[in-house]
Amino acid sequence: MDIGRFTLLCADGSARRGELQTARGTIQTPVFMPVGTAGTVKSLSPHDLEDIGAEIILGNTYHLYLRPGDELIARRGGLHRFSGWKRPVLTDSGGYQVFSLSELRQITEDGVAFRSHLDGSKHFFSPEKAVAIQRNLDADIMMVLDECVSYEADQAYTERSVERTTSWAWRSRQAYPERSGENLLFGIVQGGFFKDLRRRSAEEICSIPFDGYAIGGLSVGEPKEMMREMLLLTAPLLPIEAPRYLMGVGKPLDILEGIGAGIDMFDCVLPTRNARNGTLYTSTGQVNIKNERYKEDDAPLDPRCSCYTCSNFSRAYLRHLYTARELLAYRLNTIHNLSFYQGLVQEARKSIEQQRFSLLTEYYRSVFSGHDEA
Amino acid sequence: MDIGRFTLLCADGSARRGELQTARGTIQTPVFMPVGTAGTVKSLSPHDLEDIGAEIILGNTYHLYLRPGDELIARRGGLHRFSGWKRPVLTDSGGYQVFSLSELRQITEDGVAFRSHLDGSKHFFSPEKAVAIQRNLDADIMMVLDECVSYEADQAYTERSVERTTSWAWRSRQAYPERSGENLLFGIVQGGFFKDLRRRSAEEICSIPFDGYAIGGLSVGEPKEMMREMLLLTAPLLPIEAPRYLMGVGKPLDILEGIGAGIDMFDCVLPTRNARNGTLYTSTGQVNIKNERYKEDDAPLDPRCSCYTCSNFSRAYLRHLYTARELLAYRLNTIHNLSFYQGLVQEARKSIEQQRFSLLTEYYRSVFSGHDEA
């Protein structure tokens, strides 16, 4: 096996169809990675995820480090053996959570000190520590520690941050110098919302030999147009021969736009979090299952969907479960939303192979614009 | 098919091994019925229940009547079609919940007026209404409306209540006179904790031609010895040729004692509610999965159990899920506890066939007495 090899199978405009080899199997791209924050994709078992067709899931280093602890997981044989999920896992570096969840964080050149959002205990992440934790988790793909600046950050702050992120990226690489090793390592381009800084960060990060390159710091509250501008600017700056990962994005149309810009990998909490809030994605648009109109609706949630939920239950039953806050609601809704995202990237792959990706995007644009209810 | 036929296959002392035919298949007895309050056994899908081997589940008339409504369910084709559960369902009459959950209840000869615990709306259950609701749900086994008196009720009150319960039982039978119909109808013996009243209620209820007879009003806060006394007094008064059901009981040892007293059917929220509280039943005793001692325990929860949870996950992972309040914890714990109860009645059946039921009881007494942790 040739771990880390990324093969471009074909392209349609900037959209790419590829394959990435990891220590635990080959991932077809474009790919969507469900988020399994604390060693479980909320409400699902690993077998549910296999049934959905998930090829790789994401684990959150920050959460797993705090609870149950990366060393405990290492003693259990890694995250796969601990959780029962056998396919590849990508772990983020913990940086995003440190900056968004933890308290009293203090950033220095060396790393970032923070207090746990669980119990207020003090912790410190350096680039080297983030790699060590992810190796303890035995992630198939690790991410370097980076600083994700807020939408409000000014140019001077963002510039210092870009320098720090580059320096941390080099240190991460040195902490695990093995290219195409058992644990792949991806770099992250930052630069906030300043074109020059995005260009500079892309140049610096891409000069470091990583197994893949990510775009971080988007979808943090900026207007959609600005996210789009930064994506279209940054994506072409990433090496054509390596996998490209757009972190934390997004809605179905955002993912199609990302693919259209040449992105191969995506993760986002939206399909899972929205499922738990009763917001469901279907082939005819967004459905709010709480809505009174589904009270006596015997049709499946999405007649064009073949997931477990749509094969076995009606909208009326799903509405009842959600209204009664029954635990089964969370699982059935999550299975459907993740199946929808899985179907979306599968259709994207096929449409790239058949040179009709832009038609697919247009189709989904018509599904998700104008009206929100099916 | 001979709906309602109860066949006694063999006996060991007072313990019985039987079969009950319902419109949706034959139930082996002794049987434990998982509680599916609101059209779902909390956290489980109907397929999870089939995998566990559940043969019949219980639905709560009070809850389903209030939400989503029995008429809505009838328009969906009944509770089975609505929920996707294809095997038999027994519904209680709603009486117990009216007396324990609802507000401002007012009991008259005609029935009971109450306010919903959900929104305070006013409702009225008569014996006829309780049957009509259960026919809307299309329960395979319906229960008559009864009054479950509290442990504190005095003899005079309990006597009037027994009279009312008998009168309601007659009215229930008249509301659905079809014996061995599509929807079987069971009577309920009450009588509080007064031996004479238990005898009188048993005599009166058993003079009415029902498809089965239940003992109600036990396990409502009385000392264990008193429950046992009432059980041993009442069970032999029920017709030998009909199924006997001990309502709302109980812990594993309570169930074995019930079987020993000649009871065929049981239901209880304990295995499911305890699962959600992290209290798990195993072949070596009770386990509190929150306990620190399981933090690095790679063994399955119960090495002698072959359920989905024990076949795939470690105590360390279950503890992590529970500690992090992950939704998957509720499902995995519930699958295990219900599998344990299912195994318990299956062993009871076999031991009755092999004339060694008392040895099984002794064995479980040693498992569950003395120490609470495995």
Tell me which DSSP letter residue A88 carries.
Answer: -
* Cβ pair A42:B320 closer than 8 A: no
Q: Is B137 helix (H, G, I), strand (E, B) or coil?
A: helix
Residue-wise pLDDT for A309-343, tens only, equals: 999 999 999 999 999 999 999 999 999 999 999 99
* Cβ pair A38:B326 closer than 8 A: yes
Listed residue (B139, B107, B131) closest to B23, CA to CA? B139
Q: Token digits for A58?
A: 């994401």
Residue A155: CB atoms within 10 Å: 12
- State the catalytic residues of A: 92, 267
Residue-wise pLDDT for B192-235, tens only, equals: 999 999 999 999 999 999 999 999 999 999 999 999 999 999 99
Q: Token digits for B167?
A: 């009168």
Residue B115, Cα to own-chain centre: how many angstroms?
25
pLDDT of residue A371: 53
Question: What are the beta bridge partners of residue A22?
Answer: A25
Residue-wise pLDDT for A184-232, tens only, equals: 999 999 999 999 999 999 999 999 999 999 999 999 999 999 999 999 9
Minimum Cα–Cα distance from A329: chain B residue: B43
Decide: B97 and B63 in contact? Cβ < 8 Å: yes
Closest approach of B59 to chain A, Cα-based (Å) = 14
Decide: A64 and A93 in contact? Cβ < 8 Å: no
Dihedral angle at the C-alpha atoms of A92, A94, A99, A105, nearest 10 degrees?
-170
Decide: A17 and A355 in contact? Cβ < 8 Å: no
Residue-wise pLDDT for B135-186, tens only, equals: 999 999 999 999 999 999 999 999 999 999 999 999 999 999 988 889 999 9
d(CA B330, CA B271): 12
At position B149, the amino acid (one-letter code) is V
CA angle B41, B45, B51 (to 5 degrees): 100
Q: Report residue A87: phi and psi, to 5°.
A: -85, 175
Decide: A42 and A249 in contact? Cβ < 8 Å: no
Minimum Cα–Cα distance from A334: chain B residue: B327
d(CA A246, CA A241): 16
Q: Token digits for A222?
A: 């900026």
Q: Is the dihedral of CA A351, A356, A358, A360 positive or negative?
A: negative
d(CA B161, CA B150): 11
Residue-wise pLDDT for B105-139, tens only, equals: 899 999 999 999 999 999 999 999 999 999 999 99
Q: Is the peptide bond before B250 cis (omega within 30 degrees of 0)?
A: yes
d(CA B219, CA A142): 55
Which of A42, A76, A314 comes nearest B326 by C-beta? Answer: A42
Residue-wise pLDDT for A50-106, tens only, equals: 999 999 999 999 999 999 999 999 999 999 999 999 999 999 999 888 888 877 789
Q: Is B320 on the interface with A (CB under 8 A)?
A: yes
Q: Token digits for A145?
A: 């520690």
Q: At what angle do helices A315-323 and A327-353 cross, to 10 degrees?
A: 130
Which of B68, B84, B321 comes nearest A40 by C-beta? Answer: B321
* Cβ pair A320:B42 closer than 8 A: no
Strand A103-107 and strand A112-115: the pairing is: antiparallel
Q: Using a CB-CB distance cutoff of 8 angstroms, which residues of chain A are in contact with residue B321? A: 39-40
pLDDT of residue A272: 98
Decide: A204 and A166 in contact? Cβ < 8 Å: yes
Residue B374 confidence class, pLDDT cut points 50, 70, 90: very low
Closest approach of A140 to chain B, Cα-based (Å) = 20
Q: Using a CB-CB distance cutoff of 8 angstroms, which residues of chain B are in contact with residue A296? A: 72, 75-76
User: Where does residue B25 rank: exposed (0-12), middle (13-18), buried (19+ CB within 10 A)?
Assistant: middle
Residue A374 confidence class, pLDDT cut points 50, 70, 90: very low
* Cβ pair B39:A313 closer than 8 A: no
* Cβ pair A327:B330 closer than 8 A: yes
Sheet holding A141-143, edge to edge: A31-33, A265-267, A244-246, A212-215, A184-189, A141-143, A89-91, A57-59, A35-36
Which of B38, B323, B328 comes nearest A326 by C-beta? Answer: B38
Residue A56: CB atoms within 10 Å: 25
d(CA A217, CA B299): 41
Dihedral angle at the C-alpha atoms of B108, B36, B271, B189, nearest 10 degrees?
30
pLDDT of residue A99: 83
pLDDT of residue A214: 98
Q: Is B358 on the interface with A (CB under 8 A)?
A: no
With a pLDDT cut of 70, the percent of chain A lying above it is 98
Decide: A247 and A95 in contact? Cβ < 8 Å: no
Which of A39, A68, A321 comes nearest B40 by C-beta? Answer: A321
CA angle A132, A135, A141 (to 5 degrees): 120
Q: Is B332 on the interface with A (CB under 8 A)?
A: yes
Q: What is the ipTM of this complex?
A: 0.97
Q: At what angle do helices A155-175 and A195-206 cross, to 10 degrees?
A: 10
On the question of pLDDT at A367 being above 50, the answer is: yes
Residue B370 confidence class, pLDDT cut points 50, 70, 90: low
Q: Is A346 helix (H, G, I), strand (E, B) or coil?
A: helix
Listed residue (A186, A191, A139) closest to A161, CA to CA? A191
* Cβ pair B332:A72 closer than 8 A: no
Query: Which pTM value belongs to this model?
Result: 0.97
Residue B350: CB atoms within 10 Å: 13
d(CA A216, CA A96): 9
Q: Is A349 on the interface with B (CB under 8 A)?
A: no
